[in-house]
Chain A
Amino acid sequence: MISYNTIIQSILSGLLEGGNYALYSLGLAFVFGIMQIINMAHGEFLVLGGYIAYWLLVKWGVNPLMALPVAALLAGGTSFLSYRIFIERIRTTVELNTLILTFGIGIFLSNLYLQLWSADLRSISVHWMEDPVHLGGIYISLGEIVTFVISFAAVFFLHLFLRRTKTGKAIRITAIDRDAAALSGINVERVDLLAFSIGGALAGLGGPLLGMLSFVSPNTGLHITVKAFILTVLAGVGSIPGLIVAGMMLGVGEALTVTFVSSSFRELFGFTLFLVILLARPSGLFGKRG
């Protein structure tokens, strides 16, 4: 018999996990919404962040939270180079080209990780993260709370950056009307480069969290990309805050599926939710219709 507490427990973990899903998806959702590029290498940028935090911890004992900026910077740099060297050349051609090209970049990166760091699953284990926090009869780990707060903050600051800063607005208006942006003196090609690099940096930020909560491996990337894509479409393309809600729906749904059905149905739930929402609301939960 499943107790009342178990249900509350799985809903709560689902909510917290959902917040992390939002961060894992943030870079992809941002790049897709702003540039209409489905970045298939998104997961690999994220995994890179995870590896960086792992090695910083193992080699020099760096606190994974301190590794976050380094992870974001290096993943952002990789993203910058990918755009500068490859994607820029086909930016104005059909959208399918960027999909194929970023997919190729992803394959290259995951094989590079395999060569550099072997196929072993790397988990970033930090003891304090396992510390339990009791809320009535419910237990959650400190790590779940910390990662949730980081994810939430990342979404919040990205939203603020796009709404309030001049550079953020330049990114938005270039997405809305490229010609009008250029006519206002904005270097739209530089905006593209910046947006894609920010997308990579946001992915890199998610890597250490993924490594702390589970693990990273060379082929984790594609799995993350798919999940990020599902969430982006669920939230509605262009809706950054919607990612949190969509992430929590997915998180809670998965947790309840594990509790009531079986953990082998966990992934199935996400895809089912994806299809159902798309049937009911083709533009996603918070997307604009039409």
Chain B
Amino acid sequence: MLRVEGLSVSYGDARVLEGISFQVKPGAMTCILGPNGAGKTTLLRSITGIIPSVVGKVWFLDQEIQGKKTHQIVELGMTMIPEGRRLWAPLSIQENLELGAYRISDQRIVKERLSWVYDLFPHLAERKGQLCGTLSGGEQQMVSIGRGLMASPKLMMMDEPSLGLAPLIVREVFEAIKKIVLAGTTVLLIEQNTKVALSAAQYGYVLERGAIVMEGEAAALQEDVHIKQAYLGL
């Protein structure tokens, strides 16, 4: 579904990503693990075209997408749930969700998607009219995921959905992400929370200091000595 080959990104003289190659298979959840500052967010931002001018190639559904504008890439069926939720705070939950489906002009489809998101997060349905600036971190994360889902993406990339959330809420969010995968959306997850990510994903990559240093089935990574020591604290 998504294939990245030799992706390199620099900020000025500082090289942040160096020859990254990986792929995301359809219908499953792939995760990219790594510590703070490894370049995880930069990776997603370059795939979605928010950071232009990168070296390397990116294929999405057999199309080369590097160099395209963000809205064009989104139109192909990719979306990203950005780190820190990035909601439009002065707007209501419902408005945030509806604007996630900006490109869909058929109001029936928008309504269908909306009721699907509300089924997924019943909590949000009760407070549609509330302004997003007043929500808790967990609720904001749900709106952010819901907003991404509104465009019916084929691939949904998530940047640290567990960040700053209480363990109980993290579990709730990940239950929803699993349902999203079951409903047919492929997920690429970027996480520092290794334990949660590996138990939800099927395949994983490890990104350290701008390069992929390890990859494998999630179950195998969980048993790996390096992962255990460096990420799981075992």
Contacts and interface: CB of A to CB of B under 8 A. Distances in A.
Interface residues of A, number: 17
Nearest to A182: B70
A24 B88 CA distance: 29
B226 to A, nearest CB: 33
Interface in B58-87: 69-71, 74-75, 79-80, 82, 86-87
Contacts of B87: 177, 180
B99 A184 contact: yes
Contacts of B95: 169
Contacts of B100: 184
Interface string B82-117: 100011111100010001111100000000000000
B70 to A, nearest CB: 4
Nearest to A288: B90
A173 interface: yes
A171 to B, nearest CB: 11
Contact of A179 (B86, B90, B91): B86
Given A166-B102, A179-B50, A180-B82, A187 B88 contact: no
B151 interface: yes
Nearest to B70: A182
A179 to B, nearest CB: 5
B48 interface: yes
Contact of B71 (A169, A172, A173, A188): A188
A176 B75 CA distance: 21
Contacts of B82: 179-180, 183
Contacts of A129: none
Given A170-B102, A179-B50, A184 B90 contact: no
B147 interface: yes
Contact of A183 (B80, B89, B101): B80
Interface centre among A170, A176, A183, A189 (most CB of B within 10 A): A183
**From B89, B102, B150, residue with most partner A Cβ within 10 Å:** B102
Contacts of B48: 183
A184 B86 contact: no
Contacts, number: 63
B99 A187 contact: no
Interface string A160-195: 000000100110110011011011111111000000
Given A166-B102, A170-B102, A185-B151, A180 B86 contact: yes
Contacts of A186: 71, 102
B91 A187 contact: no
Contacts of B86: 177, 179-180
A234 to B, nearest CB: 21
B113 to A, nearest CB: 13
A176 B89 contact: yes
A184 B147 CA distance: 8
B151 A184 contact: yes
B92 to A, nearest CB: 11
B88 A176 contact: yes
A185 B148 CA distance: 10
A166 B91 CA distance: 13
B88 A183 contact: no
B180 to A, nearest CB: 17
A173 B92 CA distance: 12
A170 B95 CA distance: 11
A172 B87 CA distance: 12
B54 to A, nearest CB: 16
Contacts of B88: 172-173, 176-177, 180
Given A182-B70, A185-B71, A188-B71, 11 more contacts: A166-B102, A172-B88, A179-B70, A182-B49, A183-B70, A183-B80, A183-B82, A184-B99, A185-B75, A185-B151, A186-B71
24 contacts: A166-B99, A169-B99, A170-B99, A170-B102, A172-B88, A172-B91, A173-B91, A176-B89, A177-B86, A179-B82, A179-B86, A182-B49, A182-B50, A182-B69, A182-B70, A182-B71, A182-B74, A183-B70, A184-B99, A185-B103, A186-B71, A187-B69, A187-B71, A188-B71
Interface of B: 48-50, 69-71, 74-75, 79-80, 82, 86-91, 95, 99-103, 147-148, 150-151
